[in-house]
Amino acid sequence: MHKTLRVLAWTTAILLALPVIVYLAWLTGNHSDDEFSPTATHILAMQAPQTINPEENAYFDIIGIDAPDGQDAQARGLALFQRIVATDEAADGRASPVQLPGGTPLPEVADIPCHKPENCLATVSADPQSAQRLLRESDFLLRRLDAVLGAQYQEPYRKMKYLSGFASFAAFAPVRALANTRIALLASQGRHAEALQHWGKMTAFQ
């Protein structure tokens, strides 16, 4: 009888002490926090990027690059961005590219020799006269592109909603194909240093 009571007493004591032991172990572990890894420490120390002034931000030049010759591409880009913000505020329930009328007609991407990079050089070399003519007609677009290559680029912050509109970069696609055509034409003419210079700038920008 006494032996049974002793077993019950010890069993009860162990069951009562177990939660206390677990709690003390948890408390001890939380008093010694692990140090963050160097990567986590770096991320926590990062700050939001400084906002670029609109007049120095190539983002507006790119989204407004289809401004008619003689008009300011950046001003068009700013107007387009303001329309995007207004679309956000209207919340009309359509997540679609926001367009701005009045842009200059651009060549169709499929009509540009270097719309496919894999056969770009061969296409231009086979008909350099057509490439030269197209580049002359689109000279003002390439001059705009050259002016912003290497410039600071940052999409401005805006408070977006689930179905916010977004900027259309459709105008940049033919301009990029034109730039690649220029590189291929220079290479086909043996002007490799100029071709590499343009290629390097385009690669860094993209």
**pLDDT-derived band at 17, boundaries 50, 70, 90:** low
- pLDDT tens per residue across span 163-195: 556 666 778 889 999 999 999 999 999 999 999
| φ and ψ at residue 94, rounded to 5 degrees | -125, 120
Identify which of 98, 49, 54 has the alpha carbon closest to the alpha carbon of residue 75: 54
The dihedral sign for the CA sequence 196, 198, 201, 206: negative
Matching residue, tokens 């000279």: 139
Max intra-chain CA distance, the chain: 112
pLDDT higher at 135 or 99: 135
pLDDT over 80 (residue 99) = no
% of the chain beyond a pLDDT of 70: 64
Encoded tokens for 75: 């001003």
- pLDDT tens per residue across span 83-98: 887 776 665 555 566 7
pLDDT of res. 80:
87
What is the 8-class DSSP label of residue 72?
Answer: -
pLDDT of res. 173:
87
Find out whether 148 and 62 touch, Cβ atoms under 8 Å.
yes
pTM of the model: 0.66
